[in-house]
Chain A
């Protein structure tokens, strides 16, 4: 039995309606409890801001394309090196750090759980290997279904149960967490160097539309009663005028779940552009935000872009090639048979660029115009919009209108007529920030009931204590202090154990990988389906028996079993 008592914590926990109350938190065996014995280890939180551990519901930190981002970028690796020190391994990388680099940086920012945004099932083993080398966060993986042949064939046959059965088999086989659709249909078209323009374009050969793929997978997701909803990266990312496609994609989603959203739309900043070309690009964040405000069954994340150097990486292969043609820097692409694709290019987001300035404003506008913070989560699509180490700056921007105005003043003057940010004076409070960075994620991922994203009794004791007395400062004026405090926790506690203190890592390992195993009726299982098996053996280059990720790859694992509603 291990016990911990955190005294004088200034707790912000919107799930339990605690808003800046100074209180003690008792922890036994990794869970929040009513009280502990006097033998408990005591931490004095000194009245500092205390929240549940941060959860990143969309980040790219592990797997084939992330590692390729490192592999192809020694210049990025040398830009972020740290020494081996005590328990800490040496790290490399700025925008795509090594697994230890990611894990340490997240830990010192108070993040304790992360969702890898895109895992190709065929290469899942790789993602899990990197999860094993990401020692201080609980990890989950979105599984890509955007160009899955058996799924598209079942969608074409309007057989939603077969879609559900295929998803169930794949999720179980690859130990994944949720359904991800990246540029639905577009990644398959990219197998021929083509793309789809929006949700009504048929996919070459398969003759299904992205809209049909999205809708059927949402229904299949709810049949399987998966914890998270379908996680969608819309068609047409990064194209002027794409906002209408984004809204059209949201319109496709039925409202099927009472406890959480039915569709999670990711990095919406990249999907809220007006205009007809790069020359007249402007923000349509207000239109997209309106749509989200009207649809409580949709949750988005910001996909905030921040100025500076980074690496873009996504399963959206065709988008990356278009970006390459703009930037002429290096370009990598990796299409995955029967499943999906991916692309990587380095970019530099410049304050001098009107396009980049508009992008920067859009992410913030979304967060400020969407009324319910649990419907707009904080993420940068790390590292696409910017490396996650910039989250503190984003939080400060959301909390301070003067900070935003000061930043706007540094942008090209032509930007102002294309954005609505200068006129928005909303400033988020700590409750709302907690909703955007942990509570909302816990709900969106379906993990709130499992004790994540809050600090109520029975919750998992993942706790972040930031060196900031929130009663004593005005974030609107003292935003630099907010940034400083959120960069390095005084304590990051995971499962009741201190894993980081003042930037120093104090634990070798403290994590689990969360995955789902949906149970469907025996006779519908794909491992008994002759068609599925025959096509698998014929068209994949790996035998079906060698495809599933073995137990050896999830030595620390939390399996969520669901019972399908058949």
Chain B
């Protein structure tokens, strides 16, 4: 059976033009997707966990779904400071149940945001965010800047769907008419296609951004001959290119959100874009990673007021990344139970944080065995959103798209499992 306009549940480009062919419950062919998307669809069946598993002194053994849910409820209700972490790889409806659960439990809820674009959010909370949907860029931008981002490898269709290579309403021959500036600490694949490449010394983003802001304001006298490896001459040239553009689009990635100073780098980039808006049109978009990491931020915000790292221990929402974020809570051994949903913290967190996961009762709800499995007491497999579960997802620019279910592999969805756990918790708490 051919499914058209399928939405890719890999990265936050959320390409929605895939053609997927299924036959007898398996995916046989995928068109239009990038290698990453292809891989997710075509190898999905190979490594699904078949049934709930639990750890015993003699190793892993299978568990009934009933037992798995009973035990999860018991762990969460017994905790003084449960942490509910993950959420980026599932649909909004499940995320919403997660937030309700955290509230009823008096727990902490956080998503993978805190280890990817959390700093971008902190920066936005200081100075705002001049953004747009990706179609604005596609139809209008004559200048695209990738700063600390390498879309060719991490978001392979970004340039062909939204920026460099796609024709837009006001650009018939986009590839010729659009200029591309790439800024990075190494010559990436993306840098190879740039009209202008800026090689910055590691940790130098902030200084370079400050210098550009001053230049755009017409004040360059105090700037030294080089700033973090970039010549003043190149800085002047770049500033001029930006001011002359009719529509500039600034994209930034983890190369700048996760380097020294983190959110202050992003703040500086936003303030540069603000400054450029006094001269021309300029927008800025974070290159969000997981296909629905932004969705969690949206859901969590309308429910709690805050995009991530929310602590409900006192019956209302408290937010303070650095204190209420998962890595910090784990590293400080503050939490005494953890529910991991739709992510793989053990693969990305620092060692001391991961170690604590193994020291407390940890349950994972995830379709696949992963690095975190090794630190869990229990894992419950669920359907994969975008393959055998549907729901809402938010693209990196905030456009919500309904991700589809294209076949049935007999797994419960995140919404089913979390809904049941939440129901049981409410029952126990008499809510």
Chain A contact residues, CB within 8 Å of chain B: 62, 64, 67-68, 70-74, 77-78, 81-84, 89-93, 97-101, 122-123, 125-126, 129-130, 133, 149, 190-193, 205, 321, 324-325, 330-338, 341, 344-345, 538-543, 545-546, 550, 552
Asked whether B302 lies within 8 Å of A133 as measured between CB atoms, the reply is yes
A566–B129 alpha-carbon span in the complex (Å):
44
Between A and B, 30 residue pairs with Cβ closer than 8 Å are A70-B306, A71-B307, A72-B129, A77-B306, A81-B316, A84-B103, A89-B100, A89-B103, A90-B312, A91-B305, A92-B306, A92-B316, A93-B305, A98-B303, A122-B399, A123-B398, A123-B400, A126-B398, A191-B140, A191-B247, A193-B281, A331-B128, A332-B129, A333-B130, A335-B131, A335-B133, A337-B132, A337-B134, A338-B139, A543-B17
Q: Which residues of B contact A101 (CB under 8 A)?
A: 305
Given contacts A72-B125, A192-B281, contact A338 B135 (CB under 8 A): yes
Residues in chain A near residue B280, CB distance under 8 A: 193
Are B136's CB and A337's CB within 8 A?
yes
A191 with B281: in contact, given A74-B319, A129-B400, A337-B135 (CB under 8 Å)?
A: yes
B134, A541: Cβ atoms under 8 Å? yes
Chain A contact residues: over half helix, strand or loop, or mixed? Answer: mixed
Please name all residues of chain B whose beta carbon is closer than 8 Å to the beta carbon of A149 when the two chains form the complex: 169
B52-71 interface code vs A (CB 8 A; 1 in, 0 out) = 00000000000000000000
Q: Does B125 contact A337, Cβ atoms closer than 8 Å?
A: no
B365-408 CB mask vs A (1 if < 8 Å, else 0) is 00000000000000000000000000010100011111000000
Q: How far is the CA of A327 from the CA of B292 in the complex (A)?
A: 34
> Is the CB–CB distance between A321 and B277 below 8 Å?
yes
Q: Are A67 and B316 in contact (CB under 8 A)?
A: no
Contact between B162 and A541 (Cβ–Cβ < 8 Å)? yes
* CB of B121 within 8 Å of the partner chain: yes
Contacts of B298 in A (CB 8 A): 67, 71, 126
Asked if B16 and A542 sit within 8 Å, CB to CB, the answer is yes
Closest 4 pairs (CB-CB, A-B): A337-B135, A92-B305, A77-B305, A193-B281
| Chain B positions 292 through 305: 1 when the CB is less than 8 Å from some CB of chain A, otherwise 0 | 00000111011111
Flag if A344 contacts B128 (CB, 8 Å).
Answer: yes
Chain B residues with CB under 8 Å of A122's CB are: 133, 135, 399
Cα separation A101 to B316 with both chains bound (whole Å): 12
Which of A99, A193, A325, A545 is packed against the most chain B CB atoms within 10 Å?
A: A193
Shortest Cβ distance from B276 into A: residue: A193
B277 touches A193 (CB 8 A): yes
B interface bracket (residues with beta carbon within 8 Å of A): 35 or more
Q: Is there contact, CB below 8 Å, between A191 and B304?
A: no
Once the chains are docked, how many angstroms separate the CA of A190 from the CA of B401?
25
Question: Knowing that A89-B103, A542-B401 are A-B contacts, what are 9 other residue pairs whose CB atoms are under 8 Å apart, sorted by A's residue number?
Answer: A68-B129, A83-B315, A84-B315, A123-B399, A190-B281, A205-B170, A333-B132, A337-B133, A539-B138
Complex CA–CA separation, A91 to B140 (angstroms) = 40
Q: Is the interface of B mostly helix, strand, loop or mixed?
A: mixed
B129 touches A67 (CB 8 A): no
- A130: chain B residues at CB < 8 Å are 302
Q: How far is the CB of B141 from chain A (nearest CB, A)?
A: 10
Return chain B residues, CB-CB under 8 Å to A543. 5, 16-17
B242 interface residue (CB < 8 Å to A): no
Q: Are B317 and A77 in contact (CB under 8 A)?
A: yes
State whether A71 touches B135 (Cβ < 8 A).
no
Residue in chain B with minimal CB distance to A77: B305
Q: CA A285 – CA B395 in complex, angstroms?
A: 44
**Nearest-neighbor residue (CB-CB) of A62 within chain B:** B302
Give A133 to B246 CA distance when docked, in angstroms. Answer: 40
Quote the shortest CB–CB distance from B167 to chain A (angstroms).
Answer: 8
Question: B399 near A539 (CB under 8 angstroms)?
Answer: no
Question: Are A337 and B139 in contact, CB atoms less than 8 angstroms apart?
Answer: yes
A81: chain B residues within 8 A (beta carbon): 305, 316-317
Complex: chain B residue closest to A100, CB-CB: B303
Residues from chain B with Cβ under 8 Å of A541 in the complex = 133-135, 138, 161-162, 399
Q: How far in angstroms is the closest Cβ of chain A from B365?
A: 22
Q: Given the interface contacts A84-B103, A90-B316, does A552 sit within 8 Å of B402 by beta carbon?
A: yes
Q: Which of A68, A92, A126, A336 contacts B132 (CB 8 A)?
A: A336
Of A90, A344, A545, most buried by chain B (CB within 10 Å of CB) is A90
The answer to whether B277 and A92 touch across the interface, beta carbons within 8 angstroms, is: no
The answer to whether A330 touches B126 (Cβ under 8 A) is yes
B153 lies within 8 A of chain A by Cβ:
no
Q: Are A90 and B281 in contact (CB under 8 A)?
A: no
Q: A84-B316, A126-B398, A540-B135 are in contact. Are A335 and B283 (CB under 8 A)?
A: yes
Is the pair B168, A546 in contact by a Cβ cutoff of 8 Å?
Answer: no
CB contacts (< 8 Å) of B110 on chain A: these are none
Mask of B102-134 contacts with A, CB within 8 angstroms, 1/0: 011000000000000000010011111111111
Residues of chain A contacted by B162 (CB below 8 angstroms): 541
For A550, the chain B residues whose CB sits under 8 A away are 402
Task: State whether B132 touches A334 (Cβ < 8 A).
Answer: yes
Residue from the list A77, A91, A334 in contact with B131, Cβ < 8 A: A334
> Given the complex, which residues of A lie within 8 Å of B274, measured CB to CB?
324, 331
Q: Could you tell me if B135 and A539 are in contact, using CB atoms closer than 8 angstroms?
A: yes
Complex CA–CA separation, A98 to B5 (angstroms): 33
- Pair A331/B305 contact, Cβ less than 8 Å: no
Q: How far is the CB of A402 from chain B (nearest CB, A)?
A: 38
**Distance of A449 Cα from B273 Cα, bound (Å):** 50
Measured CB to CB, the nearest residue on chain A to B162 is A541
Does A542 lie within 8 Å of B399, measured CB to CB? yes
Q: How far is the CA of A466 from the CA of B274 in the complex (A)?
A: 47
For residue B248, which residue of chain A has the nearest CB? Answer: A193
- The answer, yes or no, to whether B359 is at the interface (CB within 8 Å) is no
Closest to A545 in B: B5
B253 CB → nearest A CB, Å: 19
Question: Given A71-B121, A332-B129, A545-B5, do A98 and B316 touch, yes or no (CB 8 Å)?
Answer: no
A539: nearest chain-B partner, CB-CB? B169
A90 to B, closest residue via Cβ = B316
- State whether A126 and B136 are in contact (beta carbons under 8 Å apart), knowing that A83-B316, A539-B168, A541-B162 are contacts in the complex: no
**Are B135 and A345 interface neighbours, CB within 8 A?**
no
B92 adjacent to chain A (CB < 8 Å): yes
Give Cα A331 to B282, complex, Å.
Answer: 13
